[in-house]
């Protein structure tokens, strides 16, 4: 195909785009100056699916019709509501259904997962994140280091681009691991770097973690629904993501999802125990009285 820098050519491409009909399944922001806006903020908040209003209204009706019995006897009982997402999340992430569970928010899940997988020792205590990491990820990693009595100033390492470059090079991550020897306990890295849009080589990242004897966790907030994932094949120790960006779940969506490698062990803790531990810690947090 020969590309042309003309409006007519762009309109022809739009007309022939097999994905174009999907546009009709979403509500776009109100017209501005008489024109429908082009939306490029799905990395922050996905557009509202037109079906979302119907699904929300269904639950409002269930609340009206069943009250507390809605937990067990409504059209979609709330007590097991999270299980409705299992098959879809497994497909989107290339995981087995037994490896995913919907719960909490992203940063809460990162803390819960690091409580199981970040087990520092005096010799192996450092966490590697990327330069310009999403701020809440950086704060979470730093706070986990402090919880164990160590100092983020020395123990939170950054994988940086080379001078004059924007994108990260996987060979520089390997060099960082070579330099730090056995001091790195965890790689906490994204699937897609939120600021630059770079898709990282997640499989190689997981392979490097195993080669250098450290754990690896993936933050897939900007990857799920955006790029193809094969978590079961790549086998990170854990992964977590949110649902309000490219999955279009809405600004009040509190569900995040965790994925734990079936065959992995975290400090001698099996996958089933890790998920159980995360659930118990989450429930304990929710059970606290306001202000505590």
- Helix or strand run (H / E) with residue 136: helix 135-147
Average pLDDT over residues 23-52: 90
CB 28 within 8 A of CB 37: yes
CB 168 within 8 A of CB 139: no
Report for 80-94, 184-198, 236-250: range of highest mean pLDDT: 184-198
Q: Which residue has the tokens 């996905």?
A: 46
In the chain, domain spans: 19-76, 82-287
The pLDDT, as a whole number, for residue 256 is: 61
The pLDDT, as a whole number, for residue 273 is: 44
pTM of the model: 0.84
Fold of 82-287: 3.40.640
Nearest CA to 202 out of 190, 186, 215, 214 is that of: 190
CA dihedral for 75, 87, 282, 137, sign (positive or negative) = negative
The pLDDT, as a whole number, for residue 35 is: 84
Q: How would residue 144 be classed by pLDDT, with cut points 50, 70 and 90?
A: very high
Structure tokens at 244: 């309000």
pLDDT digits (tens, 9 = 90+) for 81-120: 888 989 999 999 999 998 998 888 899 999 999 999 999 9
Phi–psi pair at 241, nearest 5 degrees? -155, 175
Indicate whether 47 pLDDT > 80: yes
């Amino acid at each position: 195909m020969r590309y042309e820098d003309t409006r007519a050519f762009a309109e022809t491409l739009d007309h022939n785009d097999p994905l174009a009909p999907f546009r009709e399944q979403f509500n776009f922001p109100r017209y501005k100056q008489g024109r429908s806006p082009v939306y490029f903020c799905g990395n922050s908040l996905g557009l509202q699916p037109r079906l979302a209003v119907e699904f929300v209204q269904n639950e409002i009706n269930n609340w009206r019709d069943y009250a507390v019995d809605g937990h067990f006897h409504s059209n979609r009982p709330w007590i097991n509501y999270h299980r409705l997402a299992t098959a879809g999340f497994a497909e989107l992430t290339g995981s087995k259904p037994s490896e995913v569970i919907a719960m909490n928010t992203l940063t809460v899940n990162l803390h819960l997962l690091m409580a199981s997988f970040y087990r520092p020792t005096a010799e192996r205590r450092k966490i590697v994140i990327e330069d310009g990491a999403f701020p809440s990820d950086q704060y979470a990693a730093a706070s986990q280091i402090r919880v164990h009595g160590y100092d983020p100033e020395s123990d939170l390492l950054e994988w940086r681009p080379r001078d004059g470059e924007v994108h990260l090079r996987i060979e520089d991550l390997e060099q960082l691991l070579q330099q730090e020897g056995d001091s790195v306990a965890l790689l906490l890295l994204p699937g897609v770097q939120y600021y630059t849009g770079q898709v990282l080589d997640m499989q190689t990242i997981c392979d490097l973690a195993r080669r250098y004897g450290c754990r690896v966790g993936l933050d897939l907030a900007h990857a799920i629904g955006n790029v193809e994932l094969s978590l079961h094949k790549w086998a990170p120790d854990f992964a977590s993501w949110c649902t309000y960006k490219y999955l279009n779940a809405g600004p009040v969506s509190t569900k995040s999802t965790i994925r734990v490698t079936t065959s992995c062990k975290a400090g001698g803790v099996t996958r089933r125990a890790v998920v159980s531990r995360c659930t118990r810690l989450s429930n304990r947090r929710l059970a606290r009285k306001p202000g505590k």
